[in-house]
Amino acid sequence: MSTNNKGFNADYEEETATFQQISELQGNTVLEFGAPWCAHCQAAMLAVKEVLTEHTELSHIKVYDGKGKQLGRSFKVKLWPTLILLRNGHEIGRIVRPLNTSQIRQFVSNSH
């Protein structure tokens, strides 16, 4: 797991952290659960990229989720993409299947 990714991260990580490791993260982080072949994820990607490129202070971890993937189950992810905003490892916001930049900007505004 790479936690040094500030701003937008284009790649899903298959080798993800444990829930315990995520809960120990410092600062503000966006966890994005999805899959590279997911049409909803592909549709949201440009909006996510635009907003997170504007917020380089946020870490962005894209988690390749799916059946049997423990981290997604720990966060009770059911639909993709799901973006979870963490502050010091604790969830402070969530958005499921965002459609546009204004929705994602509103979501990210919780980090301030």
What is the three-class DSSP state of 110? helix
Question: In total, how many domains does the chain have?
Answer: 1
**Closest to 63 in 3D by CA, of 8, 12, 20, 2:** 12
46 lies in some domain? yes
Q: Give the range of the structural domain holding residue 28, as residue numbers without chain letter.
A: 12-111
Question: Which residue reads 């973006």 in tokens?
Answer: 83
- Per-residue model confidence as pLDDT tens digits over 25-60: 999 999 999 999 999 999 999 999 999 999 999 999
35 lies in some domain? yes
**Closest to 62 in 3D by CA, of 107, 27, 77:** 77
Instruction: Decide which of 89 and 68 is more confident.
Output: 89
Instruction: Place 4 in a pLDDT band, splitting at 50, 70 and 90.
Output: low
**Helix 39-54 × helix 101-108 angle, to 10°:** 50
pTM score: 0.91
- Report the CATH number at residue 99: 3.40.30.10
Decide if pLDDT at 15 tops 90. Answer: no
For residues 85-104, average pLDDT: 96
38 lies in some domain? yes
Please give the pLDDT value at position 1: 53
Please give the pLDDT value at position 20: 94
Please give the pLDDT value at position 62: 94
**∠ at Cα 14 (10, 60), nearest 5°?**
40
C-alpha 102 chain-centroid distance: 16
6 lies in some domain? no
DSSP 59: E
